[in-house]
Amino acid sequence: MASCDTDLAGICIARKRGDTAPDKIFVTDPEAVAGTPLDVTGFGFVMTVNTEQDPDPVGPPIVGAELAQITGTIVDGPGGEVDFPWTPGDADQVPEAYFYDIQQTDTAGRILTIAKERYIFQQDLTK
């Protein structure tokens, strides 16, 4: 079974196939004391899960397949808390290791990739 031990920047995420509970992140301020939340009020977030770590954006051939693109929901803006809710269709993936990244768009429209890592779907008995 795939594990979360990698050298990519970010946090490895593992979930059971078919589970729809949201992935939750806490965004921190890189210019403040470690662990200080970044106020993300008014920001936008998107997480993309793909079969390839670095898909070719131009092709042909296109390398990798996008499995899901999930819009983040801000739960606590001043606390930096963001959820990425899964639909049943998006959560029903073949159990194996994929890759994800999360992009943040601030209130000035600047885009920043804040995480890039493995995303692992694990087999379970009930889907």
Q: Which pLDDT value is given to residue 88?
A: 93
Token output for 44: 């936008």
What phi and psi values does residue 91 have, to the nearest 5 degrees?
Answer: -80, -10
pLDDT higher than threshold 60 for residue 63: no
Q: Which pLDDT value is given to residue 7?
A: 53
Instruction: Please give the average per-residue pLDDT across 16-29, as a whole number.
Output: 94
Instruction: Please give the average per-residue pLDDT across 99-109, as a whole number.
Output: 95
Which helix (H) or strand (E) segment is 101 a member of? strand 97-105
CA dihedral 7, 97, 88, 113 (to 10 degrees): 30
DSSP string over 12-55: -EEEETT--PPEEEE-B-TTSSTTPBP--TT-EEEEEEESSSS-
Q: Which pLDDT value is given to residue 125?
A: 83
**Domain locations in the chain?**
13-122
Q: Which pLDDT value is given to residue 101?
A: 92
Please indicate whether residue 7 or residue 49 has the higher confidence score (pLDDT): 49
Q: For residue 57, is the peptide bond before it cis, meaning its omega torsion is within 30 degrees of 0?
A: no
For 16-47, b/e burial (b = at least 16 CB within 10 A) is bbbbeeebebebeeeeeeeeebbebeebbbeb
Q: Which fold has domain 13-122?
A: Immunoglobulin-like (2.60.40)
pTM of the model: 0.86
Instruction: Please give the average per-residue pLDDT across 35-62, as a whole number.
Output: 84
Instruction: Please give the average per-residue pLDDT across 90-112, as a whole number.
Output: 94
pLDDT tens digit sequence for 72-89: 999 999 999 999 999 999
Q: Which pLDDT value is given to residue 34?
A: 87
Q: Which pLDDT value is given to residue 81?
A: 97
Give the angle subtended at the CA of 51 by the CAs of 7 and 8, to the nearest 5°.
10
Q: What is the torsional sign of CA 117, 27, 68, 93?
A: positive
Token output for 123: 């087999």
Q: Which pLDDT value is given to residue 107?
A: 97
